[in-house]
Structure 1
Amino acid sequence: MRVGVEVEEAGVLGRGAWLVAGAVAVTCMLLLGPSTPAGAPFARTVPVDAAKDVVPNRVMTWNLCNPCEESNVDRAAEIAAYAPQVVGLQEACVGDVERIRDHLANLHGLEYHVAYGPVLRNWSRCGGLPWKPGGYGQALLSAAPMTDVVTEEYPDGGSEDRGYIAVTTEVAGQTVRVFNTHLAQRRQESVREGQTAVLAPQVARYERALVLGDFNAVPDAPELAPIWALAEDTDAGCRPPAAGACEPTTDWQTKYDYVFLRGLSALGHEVRPSRYSDHHLLHTDVTAR
């Protein structure tokens, strides 16, 4: 019957169409590359001006926890939830930060410039080849371009090399010098005292500055006095001698993480615990004085 022939021909044409479509799909996958790290394909949709998607004038500090077996996809998602304009990371491996930046762009449409401040190379923390371990230290992400990048290692790091990174960028419509540091570990007060003696004169050179980081010291620790003399914490109620009112920033209920402001004022701040680090995320919205 002619009807049967028509149905059969339609079936042949249908199978041919599916074969062509399948070939096209495979070709597209080969051209576009792999899917997300979790295996689910995604379509990257980056805004024309992705910097508008960040929260203007919001700055964040976060110690990533290292060595910790955490996913950089999860770390990027934590940052994207608050979408700060400037992010200071400590205990950061260069390779991890590269991947975090890529995930922020590919999965969240947030584009950041990155400045790396490694102070040592450590295979156990950052992997890499045994004769070429990954860089470890601080990093800064900024939606606005960064210039005049300086990375300094403290003369005495204590039990592990420590230092700071400093950049110039725009925050709150002003040119601001941003410092990101990680001071010596706990019970090394004298070492931290030497480190703040190095850092404070550099901060003092600038009318407007942000000093982010893990200081490994409670607010009324004597070694922080040079920083308090120059700047105030994002939490107006957190200042010596009223250190007991300061909100903890670690899982062991201690404030070690700070956003110090010089020539800037805080509009509000938030401390948020994270499943992916023993340090909380601390972010604040700032304005020029």
Structure 2
Amino acid sequence: MNDGSGERHWPLLAVAVGGVLLALGFSSVGWAGGPPRSGSAVGARGDAYGKLGVMSFNVCGGICRHGEVASTARFVARVATERGVGVVLLQELCYSQFRQVRSLLARRGFSGRFEAQTRSPACANDDTRHGTGFGVAVLVRGHITHSVVDHLPTSPGVEHRVLLGVTTTIAGRPTFVAGVHLSPSPRETLREQLGAVERFVRSRSGHPAIVGGDFNTVPGDPALEPMFARFTELDETRARNSEMGDLPTFAAKKIDYVFLSRFVEPQASTVATAMSDHRVLLGTATATAATAAADSTPGIGVASVAWDRRPG
């Protein structure tokens, strides 16, 4: 589902999953593939060389949520908190929704960045104070030292696409964390965007890095193979056949990913919710003592770009 000028809209899927209702009152959740192990999960500032919880979610904040802020933000923050997540990657999010998510997670030590890809009138339905900016967000549990926005190739007249990246410290290591939401159609330069993302993160594949979001393509796409070749995907099995797994993220397909470098033992699960047409992709990965020691030198070459303006 996308919401922007000239953007192609996916059909709305309301997925209701059995189980107890969340206290939020508007969504039921279900775990697919079993919940990630959370007993030892730590945030980005957690115990050195421990497990890191990661979350990627296409919020569908415009079309599905109609710009609603409070319940949408509470859901995101609740899932992140309950699953011990230290990295949160969000797509299709109004700036007003991001501000509330950031406020809720700041109580647990998170900081975040947002970048608008377009404007959505729906973003002013519930909150008229913060404009109509609509895009992607990256939040990490800890301090952000640098941030960068890479503008991806986009066809004229459709929603602009970006890679939003930050540098933080995870398990004592400078770590690059980036989020994307790519175009839903090859006609909208999806292949070119995939190539641009891979080229941008290529030099970081030898360092601790996390790159995730809505890639709008399935694992069998040849254009995605360079990412699988350089990174380990959160839902990737030892047989390298994540597309054969039982963790779809949109309808019956997997189009959401979290790619990891210098993390081991990835495990993934999903949460289905009626608030979005996407499932929440969740998982854990471990920064080992050996790789942490090797990567203790600071600095991974991320350009510093300050972002604290009001979009839209």
TM over 0.5, yes or no?
A: yes
1:239–1:162: structure 2 CA closer, same or farther, 3 Å change rule?
farther
Contact 2:45 2:170 in 1 (8 A): no
After superposition, give the CA deviation of every residue in 1:12-43 in whole Å (9 maximum; x if it has no partner). Answer: xxxxxxxxxxxxxxxxxxxxxxxxx99xxxxx
Cα distance, 1:178 vs. partner?
A: 0.8
After superposition, give the CA deviation of every residue in 1:45-65 in whole Å (9 maximum; x if it has no partner). Answer: xxxxx9669x96211111101
1:195–1:238: structure 2 CA closer, same or farther, 3 Å change rule?
farther
Contact 2:181 2:214 in 1 (8 A): yes
Structure 1 stretches of 4+ with a deviation exceeding 3 A read 50-53, 124-130, 238-242
Partner of 1:98: 99
Contact 1:75 1:276 in 2 (8 A): no
Contact 1:238 1:245 in 2 (8 A): no
How many residues of Structure 1 are paired with residues of Structure 2 in the alignment? 236
Partner of 1:11: none
Matched, 1:136 2:137: no
Partner of 2:176: 177
Partner of 1:197: 195
Q: Counterpart of 1:161 in 2: which secondary structure?
A: coil
After superposition, give the CA deviation of every residue in 1:243-287 in whole Å (9 maximum; x if it has no partner). Answer: 22352112x121011111122223422212123221111122222
Cα distance, 1:129 vs. partner?
A: 5.8
Partner of 2:57: 62
Partner of 1:78: 79
In 2, the alpha carbon distance for the partners of 1:199 and 1:258 equals 13
After superposition, give the CA deviation of every residue in 1:160-184 in whole Å (9 maximum; x if it has no partner). Answer: 2221101111223321111100110
Matched, 1:224 2:219: no
Q: Counterpart of 2:189 in 1: which secondary structure?
A: helix
In 2, the alpha carbon distance for the partners of 1:123 and 1:223 equals 33
In 2, the alpha carbon distance for the partners of 1:222 and 1:232 equals 16
Q: Counterpart of 2:57 in 1: which secondary structure?
A: strand
Q: How does 1:204-223 map to 2 (within 5 A)?
A: 204-206=202-204, 207=206, 208-223=208-223
1:240–1:203: structure 2 CA closer, same or farther, 3 Å change rule?
same
Q: Counterpart of 1:276 in 2: which secondary structure?
A: coil
1:160–1:117: structure 2 CA closer, same or farther, 3 Å change rule?
same
Greater fraction of residues in helix? 1
2:89 aligned partner, one-letter code: G
In 1, the alpha carbon distance for the partners of 2:124 and 2:90 equals 15
In 2, the alpha carbon distance for the partners of 1:243 and 1:123 equals 35
Q: Counterpart of 1:216 in 2: which secondary structure?
A: coil
Larger Rg over CA atoms: 1
1:147 aligned partner, one-letter code: T
Contact 2:235 2:266 in 1 (8 A): no
In 2, the alpha carbon distance for the partners of 1:79 and 1:97 equals 14
Contact 1:122 1:133 in 2 (8 A): no
Contact 1:178 1:211 in 2 (8 A): yes
Q: 5+ residue gaps in structure 1?
A: 1-36, 39-49
1:197 aligned partner, one-letter code: G
Q: Counterpart of 1:229 in 2: which secondary structure?
A: helix
1:189–1:240: structure 2 CA closer, same or farther, 3 Å change rule?
farther
Moved more, 252-261 or 241-250: 241-250
Could you state the TM-score of these two structures normalised by the residue count of structure 1? Answer: 0.71
Partner of 1:149: 147
Contact 1:219 1:238 in 2 (8 A): no
Moved more, 240-249 or 110-119: 240-249
In 1, the alpha carbon distance for the partners of 2:161 and 2:61 equals 14
Partner of 2:114: 116
1:120–1:60: structure 2 CA closer, same or farther, 3 Å change rule?
same
Q: Percent identity?
A: 28
Higher relative contact order (CA 8 A, sep 6+): 2
After superposition, give the CA deviation of every residue in 1:105-162 in whole Å (9 maximum; x if it has no partner). Answer: 5xxx4231011122223323455669x8322111111111112201122121573222
After superposition, give the CA deviation of every residue in 1:78-107 in whole Å (9 maximum; x if it has no partner). Answer: 3322131110101111111111222345xx
1:124 aligned partner, one-letter code: A
Could you state the TM-score of these two structures normalised by the residue count of structure 2? Answer: 0.67
Contact 1:61 1:212 in 2 (8 A): yes
Contact 2:57 2:281 in 1 (8 A): yes
